[in-house]
């Protein structure tokens, strides 16, 4: 008897989850469409719709055009019934975003807050997250969690940073944040978070190499729709690919890493301009900027060409610089990176749109996936 009770409870939970996920995937649907899609009895669908509606997770919003008879209600999820918060931490900046259940950024803020390894710093982050939640009137009970993406390799148990030369954040621990943030928290390497965002956005990606074109360069590999970690969690760290053994010194101690040519910092240092200003001048045709950018694209194309041979999949250009890329830039890379017999087609290259918020948003998406599996 007990077993039977548990089984029927499980079926109830599974059906509710199926109905919710069906509505989620269809975006706009009707009771009959759900019943058809799931091959589920209309009364079971009705019960679950009522239950989900009562919990504020779905809503009826208008009617479909009538095809004779009563016009069916349009059913959709309540997009902001749950919200995930992402925090992106760089050496000099902090980015905070809130994403709705479809992973769209609904609120964001950029803070000028230099990193320091102190309890005060983590307290400030906690205060800023709290302020962000209050300013944007996000209901605390709707918050699934706060996901923190930072520069640095994260230990395999997710509790601390194991390699953090750029920011000097070797001491960073998940517990440093949870002391001041009263929600579930997780810590993630920003490159992996960026890759997660691309997986989320592009359901047809199987294998890809992700270039995170941030102030510092980052990267990751997606293999069979999983983010490749490696034994020491630094799999895919393409920023330290050596492309010129006599090149400039990299922060890792080696010379000629891709980082020293393709980070946004390199462009700022070479041009003496902030990124926004650099691109304004570049698009006006200022010679020195054109020269720096051409050099940048050449080096990027060189890495794309080599990594494309290994990964034989999508090439994803993501992060801070991605929204500055034009179609001409992509064409240039394609021409420079193409080398028969392993050509790269235009549709293999994807360009991210989240800019500086990419790691924060990508990190936040983990909580949405958890929610969708358990709702
Ligand atoms: Zn390096």
The answer to whether residues 216 and 263 touch, using CB atoms and an 8 Å cutoff, is yes
Fold category of 201-357 in CATH: Nucleotidyltransferase; domain 5 (3.30.420)
The pTM for the full model equals 0.89
Ligand 1 centroid to Cα of residue 343, in Å, is 28
The CATH number of the structural domain formed by 2-77 is: 1.10.10.10
Ligand 1 centroid to Cα of residue 322, in Å, is 22
Domain range annotation of the chain: 2-77, 83-194+358-374, 201-357
Whole-angstrom distance, CA of residue 183 vs CA of residue 41: 38
Ligand 1 centroid to Cα of residue 239, in Å, is 6
Ligand 1 centroid to Cα of residue 246, in Å, is 13
Ligand 1 centroid to Cα of residue 92, in Å, is 20
**Ordered mean pLDDT values, 10 residues apiece, the chain (375 residues):** 65 94 96 95 96 96 74 93 97 96 97 95 97 97 97 87 85 94 95 93 94 94 93 88 95 95 96 97 97 97 94 95 97 90 91 95 96 93
User: Tell me, what's the pLDDT at 182?
Assistant: 97
CA distances from 100 to 28, 55, 82, 144 (A): 16, 17, 7, 10
User: Tell me, what's the pLDDT at 5?
Assistant: 61
User: Tell me, what's the pLDDT at 1?
Assistant: 46
Among 137, 105, 126, residue whose Cα is nearest residue 361: 105
User: Tell me, what's the pLDDT at 65?
Assistant: 77
Ligand 1 centroid to Cα of residue 263, in Å, is 11
Ligand 1 centroid to Cα of residue 285, in Å, is 31
Ligand 1 centroid to Cα of residue 260, in Å, is 8
Fold category of 83-194+358-374 in CATH: Nucleotidyltransferase; domain 5 (3.30.420)
Ligand 1 centroid to Cα of residue 91, in Å, is 17
Q: Do domains 83-194+358-374 and 201-357 have the same CATH topology?
A: yes
């Amino acid at each position: 008897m007990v077993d039977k009770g548990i089984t029927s409870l499980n079926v109830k939970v599974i059906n509710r989850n199926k109905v919710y996920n069906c509505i989620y995937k269809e975006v706009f649907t009707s009771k009959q469409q759900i019943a058809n899609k799931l091959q589920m009895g209309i009364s079971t669908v009705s019960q679950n719709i009522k239950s989900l509606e009562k919990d504020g997770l779905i809503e009826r919003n208008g009617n479909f055009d009538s095809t004779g008879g009563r016009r069916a209600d349009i059913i959709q999820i309540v997009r902001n019934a749950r919200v995930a918060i992402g925090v992106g931490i760089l050496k000099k900046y902090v980015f905070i975003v809130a994403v709705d259940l479809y992973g769209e950024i609904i609120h964001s803020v950029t803070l000028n807050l230099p990193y320091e390894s102190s309890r005060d710093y983590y307290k400030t982050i906690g205060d800023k997250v709290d302020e962000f939640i209050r300013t944007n009137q996000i209901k605390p009970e709707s918050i699934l969690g706060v996901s923190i993406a930072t520069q640095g390799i994260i230990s395999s148990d997710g509790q601390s940073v194991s390699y953090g030369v750029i920011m000097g954040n070797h001491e960073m621990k998940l517990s440093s944040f949870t002391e001041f943030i009263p929600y579930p928290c997780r810590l993630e390497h920003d490159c992996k978070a960026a890759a997660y965002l691309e997986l989320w956005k592009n359901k047809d990606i199987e294998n890809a190499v992700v270039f995170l074109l941030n102030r510092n360069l980052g990267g990751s590999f997606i293999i069979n729709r999983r983010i490749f970690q490696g034994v020491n969690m630094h799999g895919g760290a393409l920023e330290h690919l050596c492309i010129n053994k006599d090149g400039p010194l990299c922060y890792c101690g080696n010379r000629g890493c891709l980082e020293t040519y393709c980070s946004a910092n390199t462009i700022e240092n070479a041009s003496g301009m902030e990124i926004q200003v650099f691109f304004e001048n570049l698009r006006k045709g200022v010679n020195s900027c054109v020269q720096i950018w051409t050099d940048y694209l050449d080096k990027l194309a060189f890495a794309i060409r080599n990594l494309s041979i290994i990964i034989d999949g999508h090439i994803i250009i993501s992060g801070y610089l991605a929204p500055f890329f034009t179609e001409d830039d992509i064409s240039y890379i394609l021409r420079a990176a193409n080398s028969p017999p392993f050509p790269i087609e235009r549709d293999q290259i994807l360009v991210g749109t989240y800019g500086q918020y990419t790691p924060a948003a990508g990190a936040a998406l983990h909580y949405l996936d958890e929610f969708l599996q358990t709702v």
